Homo-oligomer: A and B are copies of this chain.
Amino acid sequence: MSKKAILGHVFHAPVKGEFEHLVNACIEFDELGKISQVVTPDQHDYQSIVQKHQEQNTLTTLSDSQYLFPGLVDLHTHAPQWPQSGKGLDLPLFDWLNQYTFPLESKYKDADFRERFYPELVDTLIAHGTTTAMYFATIDNAASEYLAKVCKQKGQRALIGKVSMDEKSMCPDYYVEKSTEIALSDAEAFIQNIIAIDDKNGLVHPVVTPRFVPTCSTELLAGLGKLVQHYQCHVQTHASESDWARDFSHEKYQKTDVEIYHETQLLTRRTVLAHSIFLSESDKHTIKEVGAGIAHCPLSNMYFADAAFPLREAIDQDLHVGLGSDLSGGPIPSIFHACLDAVSHSRVREAGTNTHLMQNRGEPNTRVSFVEAFWMATHGGGLTLDLPIGVFQPGYLFDAIVVDTNAKHSQVRVYSDLDSPRDILEKIIVHTTEPAISSVWVNGNKVK
């Protein structure tokens, strides 16, 4: 019964659109990382709980410059694209995929290459406070399973997909699955092997991952849907990322991406649709009914999406929605930065951009707040994944980070006489860089 506890100042977002600031809260969790209680100084048993952990030497006490946050959830990131993060972004999407991305992803079949980059990526994301990441890997099973082993070894919660793409007319010949049959048997083998790697620890999860409609044959989508129903695992894919992607599906199937995924049984409570820029009202209704989720990737969208995701509406309609870095379509490996981008991008959407239009320039009342973005980065991400993470409450898992505003190279400046708790929260969201994240826990285990 070796429970541990953390004592310190807490920010989290149990309710969408609001934040809770707890001063000197004590959070207790068990050996599996499950939170057993969260107590504050006004509660009658607070002193006895704190004292018990002090006596048992199981208490970690934070300083006044340190703030405890739920771990950040990255709902969409392409692990193999890490080495090119921050380059090629001047290119159009098609050239970026063919000149940079597909050649790079194909290299991971080489063990030396993946051993060079996957550990560095996972270390980087943990260092930036990402306690849970949903990864696209590559089409190569061995490489994708290696990524799962790296995440397990480093202690990051990870949902990992071997990428499925078999449509030879849409993929380069050096980076496409040999046949639909092989694609399906590889996808199933991957699921089984990840379940074996996880060994019931709940740290790494397999994800069925059709890249997107254009690169998948109709048979592949249908076959993957059957796997999802059989194994009840997560699904990730891209939906309506751009005008081109939307139009492709309409021309090939006379359907939207959401309709295609729904009909192939790929749309479930555990499906994460990246981007989803162009959704019909019917699509949104379907997503809500099923309980599927959306990974909003604002920085990537600025480069490649052709329009702004209607985030305000998604939040107001209670869709499951969280944030993704979309490495390397978005170059920054930080979900705090994704919060900043989500807010600023929503402001640009609200105002519009075209100075020649004196009216109807933007879309009024579509901004999102920093507090809403913070909710998406934590609690919203956990809800989207259907995992008990993202908020400090009994029954949830203790995935957490400490932002130390006094850490060397911290860019967060807090002035206690000038800054309210809301100010401090907003400053931390805006200014936290990697050096300010002094500790990271996943499942109650310290991983940074």
Which listed segment binds B: A67-75, A146-154, A225-233, A345-353? A345-353
CA distance A20 to B422 in the complex (A): 45
| B89 pairs with A307, CB closer than 8 A | no
| B348 pairs with A353, CB closer than 8 A | yes
How far apart are A91's CB and chain B's nearest CB, in angstroms? Answer: 10
Q: In chain A, residues 289-327, which have Cβ atoms closer than 8 Å to a Cβ of chain B?
A: 299, 302-303, 305-310
Provide the A396-436 mask, 1 if CB < 8 A to any CB of B, else 0: 00000000000001011101001100110011011101110
Contacts known (A278-B355, A308-B354); A299 close to B348, Cβ less than 8 A: no
Is A52 an interface position by the 8 A CB rule? no
| B302 pairs with A426, CB closer than 8 A | no
6 contacts between A and B (CB under 8 A): A86-B426, A87-B422, A87-B423, A302-B348, A348-B348, A354-B363
What is the interface size of chain A, counting residues whose CB is below 8 A from a CB of the partner?
A: 58
From the candidates B88, B277, B354, B430, name the one contacting A86 in the complex (CB within 8 A): B430
Chain B residues contacting A88 (CB-CB under 8 Å) are: 423, 426
Is A394 an interface position by the 8 A CB rule? no
Chain B residues contacting A87 (CB-CB under 8 Å) are: 419, 422-423, 426-427
| B418 pairs with A83, CB closer than 8 A | yes
| A299 pairs with B353, CB closer than 8 A | no
Interface residues of A, dominant DSSP: loop
| B353 pairs with A352, CB closer than 8 A | yes
Is A370 an interface position by the 8 A CB rule? yes
Determine the residue in chain B with the shortest Cβ distance to A358.
B243
Contacts known (A353-B352, A355-B277, A363-B353); A302 close to B344, Cβ less than 8 A: yes
Contacts known (A307-B351, A409-B409); A83 close to B331, Cβ less than 8 A: no
Determine the residue in chain B with the shortest Cβ distance to A242.
B351
| B369 pairs with A305, CB closer than 8 A | no
Chain B residues contacting A351 (CB-CB under 8 Å) are: 305-307
Chain B residues contacting A446 (CB-CB under 8 Å) are: none
| B353 pairs with A303, CB closer than 8 A | no
| B83 pairs with A413, CB closer than 8 A | yes
| B434 pairs with A409, CB closer than 8 A | yes
Is A101 an interface position by the 8 A CB rule? no
Contacts known (A85-B413, A348-B308); A332 close to B430, Cβ less than 8 A: yes
Q: In chain A, residues 156-191, which have Cβ atoms closer than 8 Å to a Cβ of chain B?
A: none
Is A362 an interface position by the 8 A CB rule? yes
Is A199 an interface position by the 8 A CB rule? no
From the candidates B308, B331, B343, name the one contacting A355 in the complex (CB within 8 A): B308
Is A361 an interface position by the 8 A CB rule? yes
| B431 pairs with A86, CB closer than 8 A | yes
CA distance A362 to B413 in the complex (A): 38
CA distance A248 to B319 in the complex (A): 41
Chain B residues contacting A310 (CB-CB under 8 Å) are: 355
CA distance A371 to B90 in the complex (A): 9
Contacts known (A277-B355, A354-B308); A430 close to B331, Cβ less than 8 A: yes
Determine the residue in chain B with the shortest Cβ distance to A349.
B353
Is A120 an interface position by the 8 A CB rule? yes
